[in-house]
A and B are shown apart, each in its own frame.
Chain A
């Protein structure tokens, strides 16, 4: 099947072509959902974020000038949406900190450990050590200073590694 160029799809979507927009957004759907799921640790919330990001992209695509990549632009929107959900969640409920779902897959195991981190630490370690954002970019996204990002990151790394090593020792004793 012919793969229509991203630039062409953006052009059509900017004119209000729904089909082009769907094709374009589908290319990012899984990544956006995965990022949201990892930050929020909840499938339903991640699906809400996915929908909100799609709506925001539809509304603001005309303002997208292509200075950064579409991917970077969408990631920022996703992180902002996740932060909004976390702020809202703080005043309503919080996820259980210990979810014991042992998994044979290392990726799922790490995701399970990530869910046990405090929210801010989870966001920072994901953005820095998985998605390679700079300290300045993360600071802007979570509305803090780069220095504070470093502090949070250090705590997150230490805590996650301790959990990771704890899990490994537990497996060795089995």
Chain B
């Protein structure tokens, strides 16, 4: 008696069998009413399962929007803070450099005079 496992029938419907095995199952379905009945059961099962991809649920909560706004605010704050710190550091370095230049200038001028 020709027989086939549920696993193979499922793989056949989902297109997961190599060609030779697919052809074998084609023949079985044609020749055995019992295999055909089981095939139709599995087919109905997969058709119903596939329905899920066309159907979605609506979230009741949109917390993610608030979370993104907060995250963006934090990032903006950090960026501004960083820019301020760079500004301060640049200012300090600039002042030190200017003072050093002034002192050097006076020192050189005095030495000459």
Contacts and interface: CB of A to CB of B under 8 A. Distances in A.
B7 interface: yes
A131 interface: yes
A27 to B, nearest CB: 12
Interface stretch (A73-81, A91-99, A104-112, A137-145): A104-112
Interface string B35-51: 00000011001101111
A164 B10 CA distance: 15
A129 B50 CA distance: 7
Contact of B59 (A47, A111, A131): A47
Contacts, number: 93
The size bracket of the interface on B is 20 to 34
Nearest to B54: A107
Contacts of B48: 106, 110, 164
Contacts of B68: 18, 21-22, 25, 54-55, 58
A108 B104 CA distance: 83
B111 interface: no
B35 to A, nearest CB: 16
B71 interface: yes
Given A18-B68, A25-B64, A30-B59, A161 B53 contact: no
Contact of A31 (B6, B56, B60, B65): B56
B10 A107 contact: no
A47 B63 contact: yes
A48 to B, nearest CB: 9
B63 A165 contact: no
Chain A interface helix/strand/loop/mixed: helix
Contacts of A53: 64
Interface in B7-55: 7, 10, 14, 41-42, 45-46, 48-53, 55
Nearest to B70: A55
Given A33-B58, A47-B61, A107 B67 contact: no
A157 interface: yes
6 contacts: A18-B69, A34-B56, A54-B67, A110-B49, A110-B51, A160-B45
Interface of A: 16, 18, 21-22, 25, 29-31, 33-34, 37-38, 43, 46-47, 50-51, 53-55, 58-59, 106-107, 110-111, 125-126, 128-132, 154, 157-158, 160-161, 164-165
